[in-house]
A and B are shown apart, each in its own frame.
Chain A
Amino acid sequence: MTRWAMVVDLRRCVGCQTCTAACKLSNGTTVDVQWRKVLDMETGEFPDVRRSFVPVGCMHCEDPPCVEVCPTTATRKRDDGIVTMDYDVCIGCAHCVLACPYQARYKVTKPKYGYGEASQHEVENFDPAKIGVAQKCTFCVDRIDDGRKKGLIPGVDPEATPACVNSCISDALSFGDLDDPDSKVSKLVESSKTFRMHEELGTGPGVYYIWGAGS
């Protein structure tokens, strides 16, 4: 089996938002829609304060609440763990948006452009199917599927790897097959202290956060 997963090394992340920007461009998301973004979190009180930068997006959960609530089956979970969206089926009820405890989903009812009217690149990148429906990070599923057809390995070959991971300048983001013990993500999870966000909710996120060395 294959379980695509992402590993975020919080020790490395600097909050630069390169992944946020790369995702926006790669997926042609409209203004204020960020399938991937990096949070700036502050912990403690002056002078004992920590600041953490936390990339978030769809967690591609093992037991995704969005899939359960979706009345149309537009949202599905594939056998390889990727939670997908079928824009042609979705009715835009936003139930999944509210079911997701990671604020990973967006519903855009009308396109919004950077400067009011659509610029040339926004015209080229515009996908009308995404209007009025739920949208979210797909782990760049097209890149993964197309890449695999070419014999490439997601997480290893950039052409088959999510755009955010490709762009990450601090190597904080890694992607790969968690069921493959030799994959980078498996080795990272194995050799690091990790958590998954809101783990208490039982969603089984497919994004692991490294916070320390050692198992």
Chain B
Amino acid sequence: MNGPNPNQQTNWDWRAASNFIFGGAGSGLVVCLVFAALGVSYPWLYLLVSLALVGTGLALVWTELGRPFRFANVLRHPKTSWMSREAYAAIFLMAFGLLSLLSGHPLAYFAAGISGFAFLYCQTRMLNACMGIPAWRVQTSVLLFVSTGLAEGASLLLIIGYLIRSVDQGATIGPIAYVLVLAFVALRWVAWVSYRNSLLASAPTLVIDGLNRFNGMVQVLGHIVPLILIIAAITVPGISALQPVMFVLAALIALSTGWFIKFFVVLLIGSNQGYAIPVTPERGPAGIVFCDKPGWTQK
């Protein structure tokens, strides 16, 4: 059995992480689609990808339920449960998504976008509500997961746009797609730094070790490189031919970084709280000793 020291949670495995990975990216995409004011060709295609991603995430997490055929019970507690709320948001997202696909009406897309954001926010708060997991319960995780969902959505917007254009050279790509990538990757960078700092002060040692181990990669490769690529593609004269490649490369990096961050947070630093006593008991007339939390690093 586990002792007092914190250890990695095992109740949410790769399937739950997939919900954050696919669901976050999919919902981010639908939000970015609206952000782009639908200034893209074939918006239904983007929406389809978005719904497919969200659906895949939900399907995977459904397989992790202990009683999967009672899944409808998930709707019973929207009053306080972010998981219930996420489920409602998913229903709205799917409903408005379907409506958008059928009607093509911008308002429907807008409603789907709102639902998508709600879904993204709910799943972020769902993670954040896990009080037993120090790396999740910090408030900074909310901005990190929201920002990465949006960054992934923007990245997908860009990538899908170029994919469509490779087939239909007349297709328009959302004019602000790369701006969104730029903005959301920058936001995520801020969120990451803030997230990491909030944990470095006090967290289970294995969380801090993990953060330190991957920080360089996440910051440099995951943020600085794509930002440089996009800025360079925009500002450096004479490389317009390379611009699509640079945009897509930046988007791919931003997307995979986002997915890694979620994998990392859920499955690598998802350490539980551990146990702690603030003071040792008096055994007879003894001086007591004040204790640190075992397995934690505190500044």
Direct contact of A and B (CB under 8 A): yes
Q: Which residues of B contact A (CB under 8 A)?
A: 1-4, 9, 11-12, 64-68, 70-71, 73-77, 80-84, 87, 126, 129-133, 136, 270, 272-273, 275-283, 288-289, 291, 294
State A73–B84 Cα separation when bound (angstroms).
Answer: 10
B160 CB → nearest A CB, Å: 31
Contact across chains for B272 and A103 when beta carbons are under 8 A apart: yes
Give the nearest-CB partner of B291 in chain A. A43
C-beta contact mask, A26-43 vs B, less than 8 Å → 1, else 0? 000000101001011111
A196 CB → nearest B CB, Å: 10
Of B270, B275, B283, the contact of A103 (CB 8 Å cutoff): B275
C-beta contact mask, A188-215 vs B, less than 8 Å → 1, else 0? 0000000101100101000001111100
State A71–B131 Cα separation when bound (angstroms).
Answer: 15
State A97–B132 Cα separation when bound (angstroms).
Answer: 8
Contact across chains for A133 and B1 when beta carbons are under 8 A apart: no
A41 CB contacts on chain B under 8 angstroms:
4, 275, 277, 291, 294
The answer to whether residues A94 and B66 also contact, given A71-B87, A101-B131 and a CB cut-off of 8 A, is yes
State A102–B133 Cα separation when bound (angstroms).
Answer: 10
B84 CB contacts on chain A under 8 angstroms:
71
Give the nearest-CB partner of A199 in chain B. B278
Number of interface residues of A (CB under 8 A): 56
A132 CB contacts on chain B under 8 angstroms:
65-67
Q: With an 8 A cutoff between CB atoms, is A6 at the interface? A: no
Of A34, A54, A65, A203, the contact of B277 (CB 8 Å cutoff): A54
**6 nearest A-B residue pairs (beta carbon):** A92-B66, A132-B66, A10-B281, A71-B83, A94-B11, A72-B73
A9, A72, A211 pick with most chain B CB within 10 angstroms: A72
Give the nearest-CB partner of A41 in chain B. B4
Extra A-B contacts (18), CB below 8 Å, given A97-B9, A132-B65: A9-B281, A11-B282, A34-B1, A39-B275, A43-B291, A65-B129, A67-B80, A70-B81, A71-B83, A73-B77, A91-B71, A94-B11, A94-B64, A95-B81, A101-B132, A102-B273, A103-B273, A133-B66
Of B68, B70, B129, B278, the contact of A68 (CB 8 Å cutoff): B129
A32, A89, A91, A97 pick with most chain B CB within 10 angstroms: A91
State A160–B232 Cα separation when bound (angstroms).
Answer: 73
Q: With an 8 A cutoff between CB atoms, is A56 at the interface? A: yes
Contact across chains for B132 and A93 when beta carbons are under 8 A apart: no
Of A52, A102, A197, the contact of B132 (CB 8 Å cutoff): A102
State A72–B79 Cα separation when bound (angstroms).
Answer: 11
Q: With an 8 A cutoff between CB atoms, is A69 at the interface? A: yes
Contact across chains for B73 and A56 when beta carbons are under 8 A apart: no
B132 CB contacts on chain A under 8 angstroms:
65, 97-103
Q: With an 8 A cutoff between CB atoms, is A44 at the interface? A: yes
A197 CB → nearest B CB, Å: 7
C-beta contact mask, A1-30 vs B, less than 8 Å → 1, else 0? 000000001110100000000000000000
Contact across chains for B81 and A97 when beta carbons are under 8 A apart: no
Contact across chains for B1 and A195 when beta carbons are under 8 A apart: no
28 sampled A-B residue pairs with Cβ under 8 A = A11-B282, A32-B1, A41-B277, A52-B277, A69-B81, A69-B83, A70-B77, A71-B75, A72-B70, A72-B73, A91-B66, A91-B68, A91-B70, A91-B74, A93-B74, A93-B83, A95-B129, A97-B132, A98-B132, A99-B130, A107-B11, A109-B66, A197-B275, A201-B131, A203-B131, A209-B277, A210-B281, A213-B282
